[in-house]
Structure 1
Amino acid sequence: MVKNILVLTGSPRKNGNSEMMADAFIKGARAKGHIVTKFETAMKNINGCKACNTCWSKGSACSFQDDFSELEPLLESADVIVFVTPLYWSGMSSQIKAPIDRLYAYVSPNCKRPLKIKESVLMICGEGNEDGMFNGAIETYKGIIDYLKWNNLGIITVPGVADKGDIANTNALEKAENLGMSISFTC
């Protein structure tokens, strides 16, 4: 079965290292025949969850209107979600974290359209080379997928990339493409 894969990118820097990694993953997944949609969260106006508990009260997942409404149908049709982000202060960028926080609507008791996502991926790159620098982001990701009962299909971390294009001097793009190609047709 062909999978519908949603790739969420979280970098405000166009054509940067994390976007290159996302594009390599997409190339691999499409080569295998999957349907892939890329959604650039940093290029959208998406606020975080306001904890108002009014989810679904106006017919959509969130009662506050912003660009999250563009993401809702993509989330609701996805089988696999891929988070691609630069590392900011030991975590994911705020641009990708805001829509992740809004997923609360899909686990709220009054959810009207549950997600069918069963699998996920995290790809993250950062400037430093310190041991453990990705631990905060990885633990956050693991907490999210554990809570949502998603299967982790892979985590790629890429240290030592700061300037645009630095990632091309690593094997990360090949790893990302291979990970995209490894997405199976069964859950």
Structure 2
Amino acid sequence: MKVFIINGSPRKEGSSSFVANSLLEKYPEANLINLNDLTFKGCQSCFSCRKNNTFCVVNDDLKDILPELVDADLLIVISPNYYGFISGQLKLFLDRWYCLKDANRVSKFKNGAKMFFVMTQGAQNRDHASLATNWLKKIAEGFNLKYYAYVIPGCGSENVDMAKMKIDDLKMHLNMFV
């Protein structure tokens, strides 16, 4: 199984990074992508990918990553909750997915591919993540990806205790989804 773990957090020691590293233990063959370690731009709206039925032509750190994603069986996408939404790093990354549909707007992802989204947040109320989880569900479904979201509330910016408490439950949900 080809797995990508995409960490949208800038904090190397934060809850999202803890989750990413814990899931790497579960999927040691996975490709871990820490978006904050990459240099890339958002979509430049040049339409070259759609006109020429190619992948993104922007020459940055995503040039080799984006074509690899379409062969994934499972994408595990992780982000902290920033003002009720995903991190800026993850938003720019997802904007670049424009090239992951062909000229006829058909997804390039393989059939049966899945996206498991994890949001860590300080707020205790899981509904605080609903804007992000619902938005990302629409994105995933637009690419024909099966989608599941898991929210970990109570994650302080300097403390991974709640993520540690919830990691086994998260893995159980992931097992049921996959």
Specify the TM-score bucket, using the shorter chain as the normaliser.
0.7 to 0.9
Structure 2 residue runs of 5 or longer lacking an equivalent are none
Q: Which has the higher contact order (CA 8 A, sep 6+)?
A: 1
Q: How does 1:1-187 map to 2 (within 5 A)?
A: 3-30=1-28, 35-55=29-49, 61-109=55-103, 114-116=108-110, 118-130=113-125, 132-152=127-147, 154-168=148-162, 171-182=165-176, 184=178
The number of residue pairs the alignment matches comes to 176
1:71-128 CA-to-partner distances (Å, cap 9, x unmatched) read 12431331111110101111111101111111111114078x9232611100011112
Percent of matched pairs sharing the same residue: 19
After superposition, the Cα gap between the structure-2 partners of 1:143 and 1:56, relative to the gap in structure 1 and judged at 3 Å, is: closer
Preserved contact between residue 22 and residue 176 of structure 1 (Cα < 8 Å): no
Q: How far is 1:16 from its partner?
A: 1.1
Preserved contact between residue 50 and residue 99 of structure 2 (Cα < 8 Å): yes
| CA shift in 2, pair 1:130/1:74, >3 Å | same
Whether the 8 Å CA contact 2:126–2:153 is kept in 1: the answer is no
Q: Match for 2:169: what amino acid? A: K
- Cα distance in 1 for partners of 2:161, 2:102 equals 39
Indicate conservation of the 8 Å contact 1:90/1:134, yes or no. Answer: yes
TM-score, structure 1 normalization? 0.81
Rate the CA distance shift 1:174–1:142 in 2: closer, same or farther, 3 A: same
1:7 and 1:74 map into 2 onto residues whose CA distance is: 13
Once the two structures are superposed, what CA deviation does each residue of 1:13-47 show, in whole Å capped at 9, x if it has no partner? 112100111222232344xxxx3111111111121
Q: Deviations over 1:142-170 (max 9, x none)?
A: 11112111112x32101111233334565
Cα distance 1:66–1:73, how it changes in 2: closer, same or farther (>3 A)? same
- Structure 1 runs of 4+ aligned residues shifted over 3 Å read 56-60, 167-170, 179-184
Q: Which amino acid aligns with 1:121?
A: F
